[in-house]
Structure 1
Amino acid sequence: MINAEIDRAFPQWMQIGFYVTSIVFNLCLIAQILTVGVAYFNDPGWWTVHIWLVRGYSGLSLVLLGGSLSLPFSGKIRSLATSLPVLLGLQFCSIHLVTPLHLEVLHPLIGFTLFYVSSTLVHRVSREVFNKSDVVTKP
């Protein structure tokens, strides 16, 4: 009986860990947006912080991808988690590839898409892990 309770609780704790990781990833993206703003409008020295931030947290996208595939999550959460490393790859390509098409103009758009996907992931995981309904009820 005790082992069955542990088996049921263990995935819940792993899902909560996934949820916390998704929040940390989202907070890192917020910091990324703030540092680029400070770098652009105030102090160009913040570009270094902007670059090091993405190098520091980008591995979390792979952790989230692995977690979404190994834990009992919906297809929507798996899709969102899968898109994080893809979008980060596109971010890298958009800023480092020099082409006559000037793909660097897509860098901010991809960044905001990344933030939207990450925020949606946090919201969806919260709903699934804590069994919240998407329906808003009137008091």
Structure 2
Amino acid sequence: MNQLLAKESTFSIKGKSESLAASGLPDGHRINLQEKDDHPQKGEQALANLRAELAVVQARAQDAAVTGVEERARLQAERDTLIRQLADAQQALTEGQAVQDELRAELGMAVRRAERANAEATATRRLVSPRRGAPVTRTKFKPGPA
């Protein structure tokens, strides 16, 4: 018995008919070869057909593998882009929070300065108020506040 391309692919040249199943052929796909002593070219033709079909199936498998590799590369590139965008967004968020904290600190200082200025103005009015004395009334000889 001669071995042909795969473990299950065997046939006999003595006129027996056996099934060939080459690896790489679709499941359940078998080719029956029958070779008689008076037609030795039928077996060779069947073998050539089987090799051609195997080549087609291998080409399809190769194309599918290339397509899978291309898709994987595209997805990895997309993933890398999203990772960079996420890092940029996280950095912008961190910077925005720092700016927000600075603005809150400045606002707090401005509020405290305004409260202090208001308290100083109130204290100054209280200190000045007793020195004024009685309110000035207007007379025709003594003009007062309008």
Asked if TM exceeds 0.5, the reply is: no
Higher relative contact order (CA 8 A, sep 6+): 1
**Bigger helix fraction:** 1
**Bigger strand fraction:** 2
TM-score (norm 2): 0.28
Larger radius of gyration between Structure 1 and Structure 2: 2
TM-score (norm 1): 0.29
